[in-house]
Amino acid sequence: FYDKQRDIIRSVEDNYETYVPSSNKAGKDFIGGFIGATWFLRHWPCRGIITSVKDEHTDVLWGELMRFIRTAKFPLESKDGGPLVVYDREIRRMVKGKVCEISYLKRQCWDQEEGGAGHHSPYSILIGDEASALDDRVHTQGQGWAKRMLWIFNCNPTENFVRRAV
């Protein structure tokens, strides 16, 4: 990781919200995937959501997260003896030989305000990609449950919560 990426990691550890404005190809999805994977692995019980303005926009960040899981020095997927059960849009943890029903890391987008509610957990994280285009309701819903929020985005014109924060 280069110095700015290390700063992002530390900020997520230490702060309720972290905003990452950056240009294209600067490693935002790479670091977002790392943070999502390691947060989920290090905390239990944990619930996490990766979101964006459109479902397809979660593909890159989710792909980076999966790359960390699949290339780890030790097996992380349950099919290889690791603790994680990996589905297309969701990751669960194995606890005492069973799939944990209370911990998950999901990628999802929501149109209705209630779609982002109810992910309460002692260790919860919301990662928003393309955050400069997200609706304010995503931020509002995250404030109700997320212990950490990471917002990554290009510096596009916006009037949403990102502009007010940055």
Residue-wise pLDDT tens digits, 122-165: 999 999 999 999 999 999 999 999 999 999 999 999 999 999 99
| Sequence-separated (6 or more) residues with CB below 8 Å from residue 104 | 47, 48, 90, 91, 92
Residue 111 has pLDDT above 70, yes or no: no
Residue-wise pLDDT tens digits, 113-123: 667 888 999 99
Contact indicator for 19, 166 with CB cutoff of 8 Å: yes
Nearest to 153 by CA among 44, 19, 31: 19
Rounded Cα–Cα distance for residues 163 and 166 (Å)? 5
Residue-wise pLDDT tens digits, 71-100: 999 999 999 999 999 999 999 999 999 999
Q: The pTM is what?
A: 0.95
Which pair of tokens denotes residue 41?
A: 């692995």
What is the reported pLDDT for 112? 63
Q: What's the chain's average pLDDT?
A: 94
